[in-house]
Amino acid sequence: MRAVLFALVLAVAFAFCPLACVTPPLVMSGGASCLELGPRRLEWSAQPVEVEVGPARRLRGLFVPAGPDAPLVLHFLGSSGSVTIPQSAEGLSFDTDDLFGALRERGFASLVFDYSGVGASDGERDPRNVPADALVAWREALRRVDGDPTRITLRGMSLGTLAVASLLERGIEPAAVVLIAPVRAESAAINWLRDRHGALLAWLARPFLQRPMDVDLVAALERSRAPLTLALGSRDALLTPGERRRLAALGASRGARVLELDLDHLRLVHAGYSLLEFEPAMAR
């Protein structure tokens, strides 16, 4: 019955507005409207950070130092991830402080921002804003390492892998790239629909879905020469089996470290809130 009703809605919409399409809301709400420094962050001398993207649009985030001349990890979180408060889903907790603490113990500083419209950041929550958000975050990271890109590791999870890809498409070459639970702009929404609502509804919705952002993850990785770590989930429904094989083959052809885990998308992102076993050594 659900499939029939959805098909009727789509048919009516297409009949009255054949050019109407929607951009999937890949950037979800999350976090709190203000950024607080808890006991751990105060102990680390962590600093709130604010940068301007455009009129009435400022990103807010956190910088966790790790000593003079420390290498820096620029983090791009998943769809509802926020640096303001720990998130939770399906009984799992997503706490950025655990990740920042582990990196700091190994001599790495961290910089992270909430996306536009998420958590403490201003602006509209729209995936098309992600590339501009990523660029201003990169510029702030460069400022903090005296303009030396070889001291910056880009680390993206889920939606954040597209933020990283948008920087690689610009020709940016960091010290290293870490992608955890990657998604593709071309297929993330339709793959999500197929997983949650079945193949029929996904097929019916396809004509109405616009590409959420103009970023090509595969092309960006083919272009970049930065050392790459790639963590894929064998049960990650946001990539088709063919897409997973293509990314794994691309990583192998580049000499990347490809980690394949028996996890779905959410649990792979959860794993990304801890350090992967070889991340610190690779980043150095």
Specify if 186 maps to a domain: yes
pLDDT in tens, 83-126: 998 888 888 888 999 999 999 999 999 999 999 999 899 998 88
Domain with 118 in it: 2-12+45-283
**Distance from C-alpha of 279 to C-alpha of 266, rounded to nearest angstrom:** 20
Pairing outcome for strands 109-113 and 57-64:
antiparallel
- Is the separation of the CB atoms in 154 and 160 below 8 Å? no
Specify if 23 maps to a domain: no
CATH number at residue 159: 3.40.50.1820
Specify if 85 maps to a domain: yes
pLDDT in tens, 10-19: 444 434 343 3
Which residues contact residue 193 at a Cβ distance below 8 angstroms, ignoring those fewer than 6 apart?
201, 202, 205
| Residue with tokens 């048919």, as numbered in its chain | 11
**Distance from C-alpha of 183 to C-alpha of 236, rounded to nearest angstrom:** 10
Count up the domains in the chain and report the number. Answer: 1
- Residue 10 has a pLDDT of 43
Specify if 21 maps to a domain: no
- Residue 80 has a pLDDT of 82
**Distance from C-alpha of 87 to C-alpha of 214, rounded to nearest angstrom:** 28
Mean pLDDT of the chain: 86
Which residues contact residue 62 at a Cβ distance below 8 angstroms, ignoring those fewer than 6 apart?
35, 41, 46, 47, 48, 49, 83, 96, 100, 110, 111, 112
**Distance from C-alpha of 114 to C-alpha of 120, rounded to nearest angstrom:** 7
Specify if 136 maps to a domain: yes
Give me the half-sphere count of Cα atoms (radius 13 Å) on the Cβ side of residue 155.
28
- Residue 94 has a pLDDT of 87
Q: For each of the chain's 284 residues, which pLDDT tens digit applies?
A: 454 444 444 444 434 343 345 555 678 888 888 898 999 999 999 999 999 998 888 999 999 999 889 999 999 999 888 999 888 888 888 899 999 999 999 999 999 999 999 989 999 888 999 999 999 999 999 999 999 999 999 999 999 999 999 999 999 999 999 999 999 998 887 777 776 777 666 666 666 666 778 899 999 999 999 999 999 999 999 999 999 999 999 999 988 999 999 999 999 999 999 987 767 655 55
75: tokens are 């983090």
